[in-house]
A and B are shown apart, each in its own frame.
Chain A
């Protein structure tokens, strides 16, 4: 079974703090993604990565950065947390689409971040 784990299920941080959210997958997937989920807005893509040290902006990258130093690990960084970044953060991974006809993304359990 594909396993995607996220470092914390719940996190409470103060405004202005630097926040690190870690995601690890154990299926040797090339692609990794970070989303945030808010009521009424669905899943919105923040950043994604198709390979180690590679990153691409998604739909809402402002206020975030990412790091992918190893294939299995994709980190989301909030440089200076703000209250409007309170949300559910979801990490996902998938195999590279040109290797096999499969675009299935597998999600971690999510991190519910509250910024006060």
Chain B
């Protein structure tokens, strides 16, 4: 079945640094979503991407839908302590009515 590989698994960065993470797949996806999960909470949707090549921003966050439709990237600029959490990518399962396939997450730690 379709699978997503998300990297890196974890990151330890200094406050103010930029962050980059990505998801790749051997299969094509038509939709990419990025979520953030705070400790003990449910994931919250950050950005949704629907077209290959699309670049979308949400404040300090920018995500891109890869041209090949097999990858997506999330960048966070000028990180702050509240950026701490787990970031998940998700792709729409082909042929489904809305089932998403999730990456295993990138755990971000920010040192003040």
Chain A residues packing against B (C-beta within 8 Å): 4, 31, 33, 40-43, 45, 48, 50, 58, 90, 92, 94, 96-98, 101-110, 112
Contacts and interface: CB of A to CB of B under 8 A. Distances in A.
Contact of B98 (A4, A96, A109): A96
A41 B104 contact: yes
Contacts of A98: 97
B43 A107 contact: yes
A41 B88 CA distance: 12
A107 B102 contact: no
B100 A105 contact: yes
Interface in B15-42: 31, 33, 35, 40-42
10 closest cross-chain pairs (CB), A and B? A107-B42, A42-B104, A43-B102, A97-B98, A103-B92, A31-B98, A110-B42, A109-B42, A107-B43, A103-B31
B66 interface: no
Contacts of A109: 41-42
A90 B33 contact: no
A97 B40 CA distance: 29
Contacts of B50: 101
For this complex, into which size category does the number of interface residues on chain B fall?
Answer: 20 to 34
Given A108-B42, A110-B42, A40 B97 contact: no
A59 B80 CA distance: 36
Which of B42, B90, B97, B103 gathers most chain A CB within 10 Å? B42
Interface in B53-112: 88, 90, 92, 97-100, 102-105
Which of A94, A96, A102, A105 gathers most chain B CB within 10 Å? A105
Contacts of B40: 110, 112
Nearest to B6: A42
15 contacts: A4-B42, A41-B104, A42-B102, A50-B97, A92-B42, A97-B98, A101-B50, A103-B31, A103-B48, A104-B48, A105-B100, A106-B45, A107-B43, A109-B42, A110-B41
